[in-house]
Structure 1
Amino acid sequence: MEIWDYNLRHLAAVAQIARLGTMGAAARAVNLTQPALTQALARVEALIGLPLFERRHNGMVATAATDLLSPRIHAALDHAISPHVTTARMRALLALADGGGYLGASLATGLAVPTLHRAIKDLSLSLRKTLVQRRGNAVVLTEAGHALARAFRLARVELEAGLAEIEALKGREIRRITVGAMPLSRARILPAAVTRFLKRHPQVRIAIAEGARAELVEPLRNGVIDLMIGALRDPMVEPDLVQTLLFEDEPIVVARAGHPLAGKTPDLHALAQYSWVLPGRGSPLRTSWAAMFADAGVPAPPVPVESGSVMTIRQVLIDSDFLTLASPDQVAVELEARWLTSLGNPPGSFHRQIGVTTRASWRPTAVQAEFMADLVAVAPAR
């Protein structure tokens, strides 16, 4: 059952029954008659397939299903912003944002274009905001439309998480974890955590989206990704994101086997004589690398190739005298095969913090919390 089958007002009523404990108080809180509230509750229970409350003479007692679902409903409603938002309107705006236009939205949802038009228009009027505008033959979201689409995505994530938890309660595991993996995390810590976790939860599905931080941070903010693993930012200047340290990594200088510096302990002046391949500007590794030369008063060498891909870096090094900085875990196979060689740690103190980045508003499900615990368990000692 998809979240679009649910009435957002009915879900709000369920959350109010759980909070207030009686049908009468909840009916007043959501501005429904008590018979209408009873019908709303029956509808939600029929969709879920489980009782949400035990009816007693002194009120309504929440079941385990409600204990899982109610906090998710409250969180979703916080994101949904207005009581004028309905699941139909939410679905229409998200389909328009993802489909790039009304035709794409119609193809993705199966809803008629006039139906989508009407839902978007009603949403705009009720919120008194212009959400879309026409540019030539194209329809695009306004700034307000983009902001609302992000809020709706996060509301959808909350409701989907709540329904997935209830399906697990019924013995039908449909839960999924989506992980954004920056380059360093792919070498050891993420695979180790995944295999450890799946031994206990073989039915949970784990999707791994690989990329640089710049490619992953917006999907994280939009709820497409649950958590992101890789180098942390210091200082952290994004108030909507939270970082959790896993371990500190000490990169090594890496070159091809047979490099002129192989077998030596080169200083910064020697290292500055060669071109480098490094991640792009703004990455923690590149920033620390530049500071290393600047602090020593040594002009930084050129970086003709910018890449965070281990495969790309490996081939550039093998075919040239370029140098790079990398975690020993990232190049362990290449070092063992003797394609590459370590020139040791760079001069001075050089390390980077590796950890997990999540949304500040993120409420992990039970399995997501377990996966986080596995990441901590397989991380090297701090």
Structure 2
Amino acid sequence: MLTSLPSLPFLKLAHLKLVAAIAQHGQMQAAAQALALTQPAASRSLAEIERLVGAPLFERHPRGMTPTSLGEILVRRAHTVLTEMQNLGREMQEEREGRSGLVQAGAVTGPAVGFLVPAIRRLKAVTPHVELRVDVGPSVQLMRGLDEGDYDFIIGRLLPDSDVNAFDIVPGEIETVRCVVRSSHPLATRRDVSLAALAEYPWIIQERGMPIRQAVEAAFIHAGLPVPADVVATSSLVLMMALLVESDMIAPMSLEVARLMEGTGTGSLAVVDLAVPIEVSPYHIITRRGRRLSPAASRLHALVLDEAERLRGSV
């Protein structure tokens, strides 16, 4: 029975940092090193925390430590508190120094190229001292980071188990897929290329479960064709480019990235003119509900919305 819950207010930030570090590293020694503590000091501190809580927070194993069910709750809350304390320090610094601070954003590839990059250019033109951390990755990674406080906002897709009431969502656009090939590819100059024609060539495509791959496979299934089987699976644009220019492979990617690849100036890549468009489920601009953005983050967020609206109007 937990009888010591009233003692929880006496948990210190150092306690929360230690709990979070142990959960991250899985070992007391590694957590102590990360916090510049000796292992005995870290062990004593954890014992004090568990005394205050009134129950073990970690299970000890020969190869490491894992949170108990109660520990998982404290780890999650500790992460939130520590993130908010970092945000507090960041906002106070921005208030003292003016146009500065850190903005953390994430995006899936298409909108990252399409309107996050232009928004960043506009922001840096007027606030050069703002530091930006931008991650480009799958929506699973981005939504998890947003939920844990790692991002001010993201541009991505809601997950099937996302609690929509926990987020503020600005509806985005359906993402269009383009197929990129080398400029000397047999399909590069053809018009209205069918899926059946695409099926005759090997593919370099995203991993299973990624939205673009799902959209491509769904298009083939809808057309009554077998999905591409001769594939190399990767999300690396560098590897895609290297394979494309040396082979007759086909690489599906978002419209914005395809335009970027085609317009690199080398003339080595081309976009296939498809007879039937391939579309991916829409992405959105998402923030955590109830979380107040810093001035710099609000400025970038507004610029992203403006760029998205501008692109929408140009279609």
Fold match (TM-score > 0.5): yes
Distance in 2 of aligned mates of 1:346 and 1:203? 47
SS at match of 1:254: strand
Counterpart for residue 47 of structure 1: none
Q: Counterparts of 1:45-84 in structure 2 under 5 Å?
A: 82-84=8-10
Match of 1:347 among 268, 273, 276: 276
Which residue type is aligned with residue 27 of structure 2? Answer: G
Q: Given that residues 100 and 129 in structure 2 are in contact (C-alpha distance below 8 angstroms), is that contact kept between their aligned partners in structure 1?
A: yes
User: Could you list the runs of 5+ residues in structure 1 that have no partner in the other structure?
Assistant: 1-80
User: Could you list the runs of 5+ residues in structure 2 that have no partner in the other structure?
Assistant: 1-6
Question: Does 2:254 align with 1:327?
Answer: yes
Distance in 1 of aligned mates of 2:130 and 2:278? 41
SS at match of 2:170: strand
Question: Does 2:64 align with 1:138?
Answer: yes
Distance in 2 of aligned mates of 1:324 and 1:258? 15
The C-alpha deviation readout for 1:285-320, integer Å capped at 9, x for no partner, is 122212111122222122521122222222222222
**Aligned pairs, how many?**
300
Question: Does 2:293 align with 1:364?
Answer: yes
Distance in 2 of aligned mates of 1:147 and 1:194? 36
SS at match of 1:250: strand
Which residue type is aligned with residue 276 of structure 2? Answer: P
Match of 2:74 among 145, 148, 169: 148
Q: Given that residues 269 and 298 in structure 1 are in contact (C-alpha distance below 8 angstroms), is that contact kept between their aligned partners in structure 2?
A: yes
Q: CA deviation at 1:136?
A: 0.7
Match of 1:257 among 183, 193, 196: 183
Q: CA deviation at 1:93?
A: 0.9
Question: Highest relative contact order (Cα 8 Å, sep 6+), 1 or 2?
Answer: 2
Taking structure 1 as the reference length, the TM-score comes to 0.69
Which residue type is aligned with residue 295 of structure 2? Answer: A
Counterpart for residue 4 of structure 2: none
Distance in 1 of aligned mates of 2:74 and 2:274? 47
Counterpart for residue 29 of structure 2: 103
Q: CA deviation at 1:173?
A: 6.0
Q: Given that residues 108 and 137 in structure 2 are in contact (C-alpha distance below 8 angstroms), is that contact kept between their aligned partners in structure 1?
A: yes
Counterpart for residue 162 of structure 2: 238
Q: CA deviation at 1:82?
A: 4.7
SS at match of 2:306: helix
**Relative to structure 2, which stretch is displaced further, 167-176 or 305-314?**
167-176
SS at match of 1:179: strand
Match of 1:121 among 47, 54, 65: 47
Residues 326 and 116 of structure 1, relative CA distance in 2, 3 Å threshold: same
Question: Does 2:11 align with 1:85?
Answer: yes
Distance in 1 of aligned mates of 2:186 and 2:251? 14
Q: Given that residues 254 and 325 in structure 1 are in contact (C-alpha distance below 8 angstroms), is that contact kept between their aligned partners in structure 2?
A: yes
Aligned-pair identity in percent equals: 22
Distance in 2 of aligned mates of 1:286 and 1:346? 18
Which residue type is aligned with residue 101 of structure 1? Answer: Q
Q: CA deviation at 1:176?
A: 0.8
Question: Does 2:226 align with 1:295?
Answer: no
Distance in 1 of aligned mates of 2:305 and 2:241? 29
Residues 284 and 211 of structure 1, relative CA distance in 2, 3 Å threshold: closer
Q: Given that residues 227 and 357 in structure 1 are in contact (C-alpha distance below 8 angstroms), is that contact kept between their aligned partners in structure 2?
A: yes
Q: CA deviation at 1:205?
A: 1.0
Query: RMSD value over aligned CA atoms?
Result: 2.8
Distance in 2 of aligned mates of 1:319 and 1:346? 25
Residues 357 and 130 of structure 1, relative CA distance in 2, 3 Å threshold: farther
Q: Given that residues 261 and 269 in structure 2 are in contact (C-alpha distance below 8 angstroms), is that contact kept between their aligned partners in structure 1?
A: yes
Distance in 2 of aligned mates of 1:360 and 1:326? 31
Residues 147 and 180 of structure 1, relative CA distance in 2, 3 Å threshold: farther
Q: CA deviation at 1:96?
A: 2.1
Taking structure 2 as the reference length, the TM-score comes to 0.82
SS at match of 2:279: coil
Distance in 1 of aligned mates of 2:103 and 2:160? 24
SS at match of 1:103: helix
**Relative to structure 2, which stretch is displaced further, 347-356 or 280-289?**
347-356
